[in-house]
Chain A
Amino acid sequence: MTRIRLRGRDDEIEARADETLLDALLRGGVSVDNSCRAGICRSCEVRVSAGEVDAGTEAGAVRDDRVLACSVKPCGDLVEVDLGDAVERVSARLVERSQLAPTVLRLRFHPEGPFAFEPGQFAMLYGPGGRARPYSIASQPEDGFVELHVRRVPEGLMSSWLFDVAELGAEVSFGLPEGDCVYRARNEDEPLLLVGIGTGLAPLWGILHRARARGHRGTVILVQGAADADRLYLHEELRELASQWDAFSYRAAVLSGGAGRADVVEKDVGELAAELVPELRGWRAHIAGDPEMVKRLQRELVVAGLSPFSVHADAFVPAST
């Protein structure tokens, strides 16, 4: 039996056998930000100031004394958790908002402190009332703002607030940017395939512009996938970019509503990608968005010849509650 103590408090929680640190804390009535509960979103990161935790095979769940509470189990007699400065955050204000599609908002935030990131990384966005969700960053560091593409999720706590309540000037904060879904071509000639499902386009928009700024010369193909043509966004901007940048081409795949629209076909996004790049050997691919689609696509692309060393997946895991 492991006891869990909160640093600076007297009360203790007794962890049950096989219980994660997060479950034990929540059961004990301790408020801890959390979202995916799968070790991906990192919203439940806490500091362990004494004692030990078992991360099993999830080596990434422990970084020095910071652990992902959802992915570790307390062990030993006593584990002390410090929630005080568990996460470093940077305050930011909403400075711009526009509608990219009926269900997608483009939001730009001005950080009120140093906020270093690579385009395509994600960061936790903290809103009022304990709201916390990770979002990918679509902007470039030199833009001076942090741009997110937010999809309205039915009954989503964060997206409802962002769509319906948050006004310009609204105060939020960001956690530290993370993730390796960033521009990482071995050289400027390596061909890149970017496949974004829904707002999976956000990190790819960041990577695409990074590639251009870095003078990428190899072929770059971006495929946007959506259930319905109404959900495509930045479509005209991407077509425009393709007309100006020789190495870049862009297509969209939708399941319905695509008839008659330029550069849109009605078919599976994976099929379209395979048509555009019949020989994937030597390519690097980034796939982002809906986790089921991302899983399927990375499997299909590797089976079709892409090296598993060259595929980068960014699965947008939904909140568990």
Chain B
Amino acid sequence: MTSLYERLGGADAIDAAVEEFYRRMLADDHVNRFFDGIDMTKQAAKQKAFITMATGGPDNYTGLDMARGHAHLLAMGMDDTHVDTVIKHLDGTLADFGIADDDRETVRNKLEGLRDAVMGRIPGA
């Protein structure tokens, strides 16, 4: 079976999904402060890698990367509710792109599996 990433339409469709996802995150006062002062084009590239990974596309993410990449956000006060928001907005974005709920559930589960790494709860990571 092909991955959701492929069925979405690969890299080009992911760009459009990143734009929508990023827009939702920036419009949400619960999380947008974490994006203050960052380089948006670089951040968009990171989000592209993130959504590619989340939808089962080619990725090189490891749990350690997830921990390192979010350590500064933990210091800024990131907690589980912010992770919830990320999952909610990615889910909503994929729904906008016509992705069915069973596929979205796979994505949600994949992200849940990374929650502890992101939150720094994996020893040694």
**Are B41's CB and A308's CB within 8 A?**
yes
Contacts of A299 in B (CB 8 A): 26, 32, 35
Does B114 count as interface, using CB distance less than 8 angstroms?
Answer: no
Contacts of A302 in B (CB 8 A): 22-23, 26, 40
B60 to chain A, nearest CB (A): 15
Q: How far is the CA of A56 from the CA of B71 in the complex (A)?
A: 9
**Are B22's CB and A308's CB within 8 A?**
yes
Q: How far is the CA of A313 from the CA of B47 in the complex (A)?
A: 18
**Are A309's CB and B72's CB within 8 A?**
no
Q: How far is the CA of A307 from the CA of B17 in the complex (A)?
A: 11
**Are B36's CB and A295's CB within 8 A?**
yes
Provide the B44-55 mask, 1 if CB < 8 A to any CB of A, else 0: 100100000000
Contacts of A57 in B (CB 8 A): 68-69, 71-72
Bin the interface of chain B by size.
20 to 34
B116 to chain A, nearest CB (A): 19
Given the known A-B contacts A57-B68, A308-B22, are A303 and B40 also in contact in the complex, defined by CB atoms under 8 Å? no
Residue of A nearest to B15 (CB): A309
Bin the interface of chain A by size.
10 to 19
Does B102 count as interface, using CB distance less than 8 angstroms?
Answer: no
Does B1 count as interface, using CB distance less than 8 angstroms?
Answer: no
Q: How far is the CA of A307 from the CA of B48 in the complex (A)?
A: 13
Does A51 count as interface, using CB distance less than 8 angstroms?
Answer: no
Does B103 count as interface, using CB distance less than 8 angstroms?
Answer: no
Does A32 count as interface, using CB distance less than 8 angstroms?
Answer: no
Contact among A56, A305, A308 with B40 in the assembled complex (CB-CB below 8 Å): A308
Q: How far is the CA of A307 from the CA of B26 in the complex (A)?
A: 12
**Are A308's CB and B44's CB within 8 A?**
yes
A residues near B (Cβ < 8 Å) are: 38, 56-57, 291, 295, 298-299, 302-303, 305, 307-313, 315
